């Protein structure tokens, strides 16, 4: 490549071609069996975003990547020359001949080469006749015309290939959306959650796994009811121990109060004679109106001055009081047991429960932290903007080893120290084949329970009630996997 043309502007993909391809995409999607999704506002917006992203990526991929770059730079080098020697003209002819061979076109340069020899006696002699200049200009124009057409043809072919691949991807996306959206009622979700699954790419087995979990929720009303109970449960107050220490602020604060009459702040309706307006007291002077005064006094409707002042007071606060906005659910930490003892239906049921809780959290923007445990554990901080496929991939993991619930609970308790999970409730879903927790860990749990954090147990399997620890959990549910019965342990 000549050094002085390294920064020459490349030929850009045609905007017209891109528009043509995107129009074709819309037409083919509108003619497919999944065309009804184009009427959904959220889906249509998602498809538009995907097509725009595809067009931008396609254009970027085509920039400077066509197979004629060498011929392009060679031509631009000759276009920058105003005078040609015989040797330079012959070099340009040879390069043009190579370019023609690359296109598979016949060699038509021999006539020009012979013409150049007839008009030049020396290779270093410069072309100076009008005929010679026309030959140079003719070759430049033919080269440029063929190069432009060759690049356009190559781009069209590449865009067509990319369009076909992208169209297949879009049809897969809509087909997967069709399958998953059938279960939105059982999960209580809107279409938006399913649209966002496409941040990654779900495989067929992922969709099948998702449908299997949803089938448990759809075919078992008791299980679905249990999921809703877990999601709305509040910490029990029955077993809360009184706090031994209550902190209070020793600094006196200035408080506005109506008990101190320092300044008139306006008017109000009351029955205080000392604050009544003179016009109200004047009613007593008229025998015909004194009955009206009595009625206003009895109904506290005397127009009176509203007096207010300031006083000092001490504010006592319980630092462990859990401030939760009205009607808003707090964060949740969920421990999911995928040990060997949970293998089979218990694990599928447990994952169906977690799927319901997690998708609800995503929809309501409720912070959630998931812990998948056996003897090892893995975790996922579920954000509401994350895609559904990330959640499905996480739930698809299983350890199938021994059961060691202690590390999972320790990790869950440690998460309660994080600002995002300070008011979180902890839910443990397991068969609870476990021993006693250490005193130090139990002490931490009791401390968090006093601060308002809830600890809930969901036992899966045909268990005795004594498997659960009433000192540890506020609410405990047992799902009997054989009968589908849900038992709540008080």
Task: Give the mean model confidence (pLDDT) for residues 257-264.
Answer: 59
Block residue for tokens 């009544």: 276
pLDDT at 353 over 70: yes
pLDDT attached to residue 112 = 53
The per-residue b/e assignment along 68-89, b for 16 or more CB within 10 angstroms, e otherwise, is beebbebbbbbeeeeebbbebb
pLDDT attached to residue 333 = 95
pLDDT at 370 over 90: yes
Both 269 and 228 in one domain: the answer is no
Task: Give the mean model confidence (pLDDT) for residues 342-363.
Answer: 90
- pTM surpassing 0.75? no
Query: pLDDT digits over 154-165, tens only?
Result: 888 888 888 888
Query: pLDDT digits over 432-446, tens only?
Result: 876 677 889 888 998
Which one is predicted more confidently, 209 or 253? 209
pLDDT at 138 over 60: yes
Both 344 and 369 in one domain: the answer is yes
Residues 6 or more apart from 264 whose CB is under 8 A from it? 305, 306, 307
Is 434 inside a domain boundary?
A: yes
Identify the band that residue 386 occupies on the pLDDT scale cut at 50, 70 and 90. Answer: low
Both 386 and 444 in one domain: the answer is yes
pLDDT at 359 over 90: no
pLDDT at 224 over 90: no
Handedness of CA 430, 434, 436, 438 (dihedral sign): negative
pLDDT attached to residue 470 = 63
pLDDT at 465 over 80: no
Is 148 inside a domain boundary?
A: yes
Both 336 and 467 in one domain: the answer is yes
Is 381 inside a domain boundary?
A: yes
Task: Give the mean model confidence (pLDDT) for residues 213-242.
Answer: 76
Is 73 inside a domain boundary?
A: yes
pLDDT attached to residue 305 = 78
Both 335 and 302 in one domain: the answer is no
Question: For the chain, what is the mean pLDDT?
Answer: 76
CATH number at residue 367: 3.40.50.410
Both 274 and 345 in one domain: the answer is no
pLDDT attached to residue 351 = 94
Which one is predicted more confidently, 36 or 141? 141
Is 454 inside a domain boundary?
A: yes
Residue from 367, 366, 390, 364 nearest 378 by CA:
390
Identify the band that residue 249 occupies on the pLDDT scale cut at 50, 70 and 90. Answer: very low
Both 290 and 338 in one domain: the answer is no
Q: Which of 285, 313, 341 is the last residue of a domain?
A: 313
pLDDT at 236 over 70: no
pLDDT attached to residue 197 = 57
Question: What is the percent of the chain where pLDDT is above 70?
Answer: 74
| Domain hosting residue 123, numbered range | 1-181
Both 439 and 295 in one domain: the answer is no
pLDDT at 87 over 80: yes
Both 229 and 377 in one domain: the answer is yes
Which one is predicted more confidently, 304 or 20? 304
Identify the band that residue 409 occupies on the pLDDT scale cut at 50, 70 and 90. Answer: very high
pLDDT attached to residue 109 = 52
Interatomic CA distance for residues 444 and 41, integer angstroms: 49
Handedness of CA 286, 292, 295, 299 (dihedral sign): negative
Task: Give the mean model confidence (pLDDT) for residues 41-58.
Answer: 80
Is 207 inside a domain boundary?
A: no
pLDDT at 380 over 80: yes
Is 202 inside a domain boundary?
A: no
Both 145 and 61 in one domain: the answer is yes
Residues 6 or more apart from 303 whose CB is under 8 A from it? 267, 269, 276, 277, 279, 280
Is 62 inside a domain boundary?
A: yes
The number of folded domains in the chain is 3
Both 107 and 154 in one domain: the answer is yes
Residues 6 or more apart from 381 whose CB is under 8 A from it? 369, 370
Task: Give the mean model confidence (pLDDT) for residues 451-464.
Answer: 82
Both 228 and 286 in one domain: the answer is no
Task: Give the mean model confidence (pLDDT) for residues 455-469.
Answer: 70
Query: pLDDT digits over 98-126, tens only?
Result: 998 888 876 655 545 545 554 544 445 55
Identify the band that residue 428 occupies on the pLDDT scale cut at 50, 70 and 90. Answer: very high
């Amino acid at each position: 490549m000549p050094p002085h043309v390294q920064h020459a502007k490349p030929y850009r993909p045609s905007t017209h071609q891109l528009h043509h391809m995107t129009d074709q995409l819309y037409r083919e999607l509108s003619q497919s069996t999944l065309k009804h999704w184009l009427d959904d506002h959220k889906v249509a917006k998602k498809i538009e975003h995907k097509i725009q992203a595809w067009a931008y990526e396609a254009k970027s991929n085509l920039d400077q990547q066509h197979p004629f770059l060498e011929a392009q730079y060679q031509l631009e080098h000759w276009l920058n020359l105003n005078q040609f020697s015989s040797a330079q003209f012959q070099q340009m002819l040879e390069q043009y001949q190579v370019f023609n061979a690359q296109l598979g076109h016949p060699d038509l340069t021999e006539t020009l080469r012979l013409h150049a020899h007839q008009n030049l006696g020396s290779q270093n002699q410069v072309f100076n006749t009008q005929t010679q200049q026309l030959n140079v200009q003719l070759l430049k124009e033919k080269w440029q015309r063929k190069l432009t057409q060759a690049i356009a043809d190559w781009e069209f072919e590449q865009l067509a290939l990319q369009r076909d691949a992208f169209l297949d991807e879009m049809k897969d996306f809509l087909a997967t959306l069709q399958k998953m959206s059938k279960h939105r009622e059982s999960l209580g979700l809107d279409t938006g959650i399913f649209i966002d699954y496409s941040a990654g790419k779900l495989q067929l087995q992922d969709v099948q796994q998702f449908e299997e979990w949803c089938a448990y929720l759809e075919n078992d009303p008791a299980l679905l009811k249990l999921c809703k109970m877990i999601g709305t449960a509040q910490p029990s107050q029955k077993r809360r121990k009184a706090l031994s220490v209550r902190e209070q602020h020793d600094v006196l604060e200035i408080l506005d109060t109506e008990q101190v009459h320092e300044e008139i702040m306006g008017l109000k309706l009351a029955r205080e004679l000392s604050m009544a307006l003179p016009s109200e007291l004047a009613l007593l002077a008229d025998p015909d109106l004194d009955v009206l005064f009595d009625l206003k006094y009895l109904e506290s409707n005397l127009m009176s001055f509203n007096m207010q002042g300031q006083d000092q007071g001490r504010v006592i606060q319980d630092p462990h009081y859990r401030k939760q906005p009205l009607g808003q659910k707090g964060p949740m930490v969920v421990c999911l047991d995928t040990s060997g003892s949970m293998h089979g239906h218990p694990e599928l049921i447990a994952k169906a429960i977690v799927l319901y809780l997690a998708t609800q959290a995503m929809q309501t923007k409720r912070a959630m932290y998931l812990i998948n445990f056996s003897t090892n554990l893995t975790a996922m901080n579920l954000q509401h903007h994350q895609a559904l496929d990330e959640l499905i991939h996480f739930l698809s993991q299983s350890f199938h080893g021994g059961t060691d619930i202690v590390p999972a609970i320790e990790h869950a308790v440690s998460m309660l120290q994080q600002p995002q999970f300070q008011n979180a409730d902890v839910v443990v879903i397991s068969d609870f084949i476990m021993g006693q927790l250490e005193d130090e860990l139990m002490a931490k749990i009791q401390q968090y329970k006093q601060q308002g954090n809830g600890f809930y147990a969901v036992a899966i399997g045909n268990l005795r009630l004594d498997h659960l620890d009433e000192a540890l959990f506020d609410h405990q549910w047992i799902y009997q996997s054989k009968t589908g019965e849900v038992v709540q342990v008080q």
